[in-house]
């Protein structure tokens, strides 16, 4: 099989890192020191404990590319090798380490020019670690986009609470509570669309209309707040007192909420929460639709996404597949735009929340327990009837859609 340049880059980089790790392990072994105890290594061999710690992480990393993030520079490696040389390690082991370092530097120079560019390439390919792919690039993007657009938020909340429909056992109702916590401007003139509400079936938008009469199987949306004010989707009592005015604009089947310019930094920081109920969602798999999914759009720079799915005990606790779709040519407005070509190499996993009702409290989302309690009351169920799962994703990329999808149960 003919290798592509990309295959060669990945394989030669992996081989060079592995060769360097093997040489380092031999140095530690001959010196009789334990790489897992960097402080003791620093004392015994005679170099700084921070350098010992980094080399220890290179050796113990779960895979070669995970080791790359901990590697010291060439001069740091040379300091360590020279220290082992003074510790009476064999000349052949020292020579092998220097050759492995030379080979690694050669591979870096050939494929990327420098270490930083190589890490960027591998991170973009999703190879720097298995759990939070592209996290290094996502963090850099968060900082750059914050400065460019003049806004950022500490937390993006997406909380989905599912309960059996009161009108039909074939359907369920879904409460969606979304929020930006710690939203702040970095530039006083920065304006921003905070939220856009639109229900869809993953194929096309479906206009949220008033409840049909009599009730039918047509999905429809209604405000979560039983006493909605000027903006029905806004949960004013769970927003910060200092939250500036929000302008609601209807665009076709969508309602957009805009924030005007104002104070920058901590003086203007606020939390904003919105929510609604979507009724009559399919409760069981059909030949036409066998899955259920909910998504959180990420339309501004945020430090983390907190994505919760809370379900009534009559429904099985889902095991969602997480997919992140990027939209480099614009916002994720059309559900049909969720194509394979837009899929980003970013992974995420949900973990079960403790307790029933689930313990949703987190410093990232002030008053979250109160929000959940109000939803249970609105749905007409007891809190103890619910269980939940949570995913926390650091630095979800701006202009993306984080989708949680799972199989609907089959009718028995």
For residues 24 and 332, the model is more confident at 24
pLDDT tier, 206 (very low <50, low <70, confident <90, very high otherwise):
very low
User: Residue 302 has what DSSP assignment?
Assistant: E
Q: In what order do the strands lie in the sheet with 192-197?
A: 192-197, 254-259, 246-251
Q: Which residues contact 394 (CB under 8 A, 6 or more apart)?
A: 132, 135, 138, 139, 303, 304
Question: Under a CB-based contact definition with an 8 Å cutoff, are residues 274 and 371 in contact?
Answer: no
Render 227-292 in DSSP notation, one character per residue.
S--SSTTB-GGGS-TTPPPEEEEEETTEEEEEE----BGGGG-EEEEEEEEEEEEE-S--SS--EE
Its pTM stands at 0.73
pLDDT tens by residue, 337-350: 567 778 888 888 99
Instruction: Find where tokens 């047509």 sit.
Output: 218
| CA 355/CA 358 separation, integer angstroms | 5
Q: What is the mean pLDDT of the chain?
A: 85
Q: Residue 373: what pLDDT?
A: 95
Question: Under a CB-based contact definition with an 8 Å cutoff, are residues 406 and 321 in contact?
Answer: yes
pLDDT tens by residue, 351-369: 999 999 999 999 999 999 9
* Residue 226 scores a pLDDT above 80: no
* 3-state percent breakdown (helix, strand, coil) of the chain, nearest 5: 35, 30, 40
pLDDT tier, 210 (very low <50, low <70, confident <90, very high otherwise):
very low
Mean pLDDT confidence for 147-163: 95
Least-confidence region, from 173-187, 303-317, 318-332:
318-332
* Residue 20 scores a pLDDT above 90: yes
pLDDT tier, 253 (very low <50, low <70, confident <90, very high otherwise):
low
For residues 214 and 169, the model is more confident at 169
Q: CATH says 135-407 is which class?
A: mainly beta
């Amino acid at each position: 099989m003919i290798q592509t340049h990309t295959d060669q880059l990945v394989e030669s980089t992996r081989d060079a890192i592995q060769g360097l790790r093997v040489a380092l392990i031999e140095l530690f072994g001959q010196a009789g020191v334990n790489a897992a105890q960097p402080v003791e290594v620093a004392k015994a061999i005679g170099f700084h404990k921070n350098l010992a710690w980094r080399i220890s992480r290179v050796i113990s990393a779960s895979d070669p590319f995970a080791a790359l993030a901990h590697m010291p520079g060439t001069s740091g490696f040379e300091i360590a090798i020279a220290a082992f040389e003074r510790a009476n390690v064999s000349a052949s082991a020292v020579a092998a380490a220097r050759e492995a370092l030379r080979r690694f530097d050669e591979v870096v120079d050939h494929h990327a020019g420098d270490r930083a560019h190589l890490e960027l390439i591998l991170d973009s390919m999703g190879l720097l670690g298995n759990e939070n792919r592209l996290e290094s690039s996502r963090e850099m993007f968060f900082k750059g986009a914050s400065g460019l657009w003049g806004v950022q938020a500490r937390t993006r909340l997406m909380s989905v609470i599912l309960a059996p429909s009161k009108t039909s056992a074939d359907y369920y109702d879904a409460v969606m509570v979304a929020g930006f916590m710690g939203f702040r401007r970095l530039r006083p003139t920065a304006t921003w669309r905070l939220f856009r509400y639109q229900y869809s079936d993953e194929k096309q938008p479906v206009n949220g209309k008033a409840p049909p009469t009599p009730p039918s199987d047509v999905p429809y949306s209604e405000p979560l707040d039983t006493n909605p004010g000027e903006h029905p989707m806004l949960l004013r009592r769970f927003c910060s007192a200092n939250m500036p005015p929000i302008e609601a604009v209807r665009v076709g089947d969508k309602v957009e909420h805009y924030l005007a310019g104002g104070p920058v930094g901590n003086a203007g920081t606020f939390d904003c929460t919105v929510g609604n109920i979507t009724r009559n969602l399919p409760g069981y798999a059909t030949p036409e639709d066998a899955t259920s999914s909910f998504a959180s759009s990420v339309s501004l720079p945020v430090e983390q996404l907190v994505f919760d799915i809370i379900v009534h005990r009559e429904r099985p606790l889902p095991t969602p597949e997480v997919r992140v779709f990027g939209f480099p040519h614009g916002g994720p407005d059309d559900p049909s735009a969720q194509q394979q070509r837009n899929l980003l190499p970013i992974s995420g996993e949900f973990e079960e929340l403790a307790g029933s009702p689930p313990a949703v409290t987190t410093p990232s989302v002030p008053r979250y327990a109160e929000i959940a309690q109000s939803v249970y009351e609105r749905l007409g169920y007891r809190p103890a009837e619910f269980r939940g799962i949570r995913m926390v994703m650091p630095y979800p990329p701006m202009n993306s859609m984080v989708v949680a999808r799972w199989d609907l149960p089959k009718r028995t």
